[in-house]
Structure 1
Amino acid sequence: MRFRHHDDIRRDFPGLAAGALLVTAPPVPAHAAEVVARQLATARERLAAGPEGQFPEIQAWRRAFTAMGLRATRYRCASESLLRRLRRDGELPTVHPLVDVCNAVSAAFAIPVAALDVARIDGDLEVRRATGTENYLTFAGDREHPAPGEVTFADTGGNAHARRWTNRQSGLSAVSPGTTTALIVAEALHEGADADITRLTAALAGALGAVRVSVLTREAPGFTI
């Protein structure tokens, strides 16, 4: 089982920097809470200096969404949504130790981070443009089909594990108490993204005890799950 970005995505978004991690056990709650507190403190410091819409990481994703024909103020990347919630509520909701760590690191770096249950992925997983036939399961249990051309995480079995690339993950592969192995993917488009993805993946690897970590490039775009 492998993860990669389709060549067309790397062609259309040449500034893409991505990292992938394989995690086989969630962090213990106490350790996760320490990591979350530290990362959210960093996120709050950044927000104190200005709103998330001014962050270069967020602005780059807004430009990408606009290029995909989406209204960037209606459809936001996951890290922007987390930062908006943190600015509004002062905290992020507690979901699962692994997800909580990923969300906190995502907020601190302002970079979208996806966490997927590997057991719920059918075959290889690729970030590519949808054909319109893929099946997407919402967290409410409803089924949708990404629009043709929409960027999604699609597996060999025809499942879409995201809508609008980094906007919304699928309920199908959401991490749960029964998750034993998770694929973590971080993606960035801003200037300096390569260095930031390297730092982000290192932070996640240390916090989650990842068994495999890779920074993906055009020359080495694949990651073995």
Structure 2
Amino acid sequence: MYFQHSDEIWSEHPELVAGALVATGITADAVVEPRVEAFTTVAKARLAAGTEADLPEIQAWRRTFSKMGLKPTRYRCASESLLRRFRKEGALPRIHPLVDLCNAASLAFAIPVAALDVARISRHLEVRRAAGDENYLTLSGEPDTPEPGEVTFVDAAGHAHARRWTNRQSGHSAVRDTTRSALIIAEGMHASAAKDVPDLMAALSEALNSVWPISVPTATLSRSAPRFDFAARAGGAGDGTPS
């Protein structure tokens, strides 16, 4: 299996820095609260001086959304939405230990982080413009279809695993209690992304390894090295069917 961005995406967004890792051996009963608290403490300190809209990471994604023809205050990247909710409510709801860690890391670094169940990805995953015939499933379970030309994550079976790039993930590959292997992706557009994205991935990898005794292969992707190869979980995972 592999993950990559299309050459068109790299051409249109040369400032993009992406990180990817696969965590295998995930369980739903892990205790991640100390790690979540460490990440959220960083987020609180960053938000003490202003709002999420002041952060360069968020400003860069707002420019990207505007470039894609989207109103950035209507369609927000995932990290902005999380930071906005965190600033208003003081905490995020607990969903799953892995998701909670990824969300907390996203808060700390103000960079969108996606976590997808590998067992629900068919053969490969590519960030590209939609043809308009891909299948998207909302988090509430409703079917939908990306607009033609919309940037999304598409696998070999035509499943769209996101809407509007980093705006919203799909319910099809959402991490659940049965998830054992997850592909985690971070994408930055700001000036210091070349340092910040690898730092985020290193911090998240270390946190994952401290919670689950697992191997966490990681990669930083660029136009010259756009592909991250990884193994599907044993037992038929990665064919796009439930495990």
Relative to the length of structure 2, the TM-score reads 0.90
Q: Give how far 1:29 is off.
A: 3.0
Aligned to 2:30: 29
Cα offset for 1:219? 1.2
1:150-169 map, 5 Å: 150-169=150-169
Shift of 1:211: 2.4
Give me the whole-angstrom Cα distance separating, in 1, the residues matched to 2:194 and 2:26. Answer: 26
Shift of 1:140: 1.2
Partner of 2:216: 211
Is the 8 Å Cα contact of residues 43 and 109 (structure 1) preserved in structure 2? yes
Q: Matched residue of 1:23: which SS?
A: strand
Q: Do structure 1's residue 224 and structure 2's residue 229 form an aligned pair?
A: yes
Distance apart, 1:126 and its partner CA: 0.1
Question: Which structure 1 residue ranges, 4+ long, deviate > 3 Å from structure 2?
Answer: none
One-letter amino acid of the counterpart of residue 130, structure 2: A
The aligned counterpart of 1:2 is: 2
Q: Which residue of structure 1 lines up, in the alignment, with residue 176 of structure 2?
A: 176
Amino acid at match of 2:229: T
Structure 2: runs of 5 or more not aligned: 210-214, 231-243
Deviations 1:61-91 (A, max 9, x none): 0000001110000000000000000000000
What's 2:125 paired with? 125
Counterpart position of 1:63? 63
Q: Contact 1:26/1:208 (CA < 8 Å) preserved in 2?
A: no
What amino acid is aligned across from residue 89 of structure 2 in structure 1?
D
Q: Aligned ranges for residues 109-148 of structure 1 at < 5 Å?
A: 109-148=109-148
The letter of the residue matching 1:2 is Y
SS of the counterpart of 2:160?
coil
SS of residue in 2 equivalent to 1:49: coil
The CA distance in 2 between the partners of 1:142 and 1:101, in whole Å, is 26
Whole-angstrom distance in 2 between the partners of 1:8 and 1:128: 7
Match of 1:198 in 2: 198
Asked if structure 2 preserves the Cα contact closer than 8 Å seen for 1:136 and 1:162, the reply is yes
Counterpart AA for 1:135 = N
Contact persistence 1:151–1:164 (CA under 8 A)? yes
Aligned to 2:241: none
User: Size of the alignment, in residue pairs?
Assistant: 224
Matches within 5 A, 1:80-99: 80-99=80-99
1:25–1:180 Cα contact (<8 Å) kept: yes
Aligned-residue sequence identity (percent) comes to 58
Tell me whether 128-137 or 201-210 shows the greater mean CA deviation.
201-210
User: Which is richer in helix?
Assistant: 1
Deviations 1:15-49 (A, max 9, x none): 0000000000237632x111100000000111111
What is the distance in 2 between the residues matched to 1:218 and 1:12? 11
Paired residue for 2:48?
48
Post-superposition Cα deviations, 1:86-127, rounded to whole Å, max 9, x if no partner, equal 000000110000000000000000000000000000121000
Distance 2:99 2:25 in 1: 12
Quote the offset at 1:139 in angstroms: 1.2
Q: Is this contact kept in 2: 1:22–1:182, CA < 8 A?
A: yes
Deviation at 1:208, TM superposition (A): 1.1
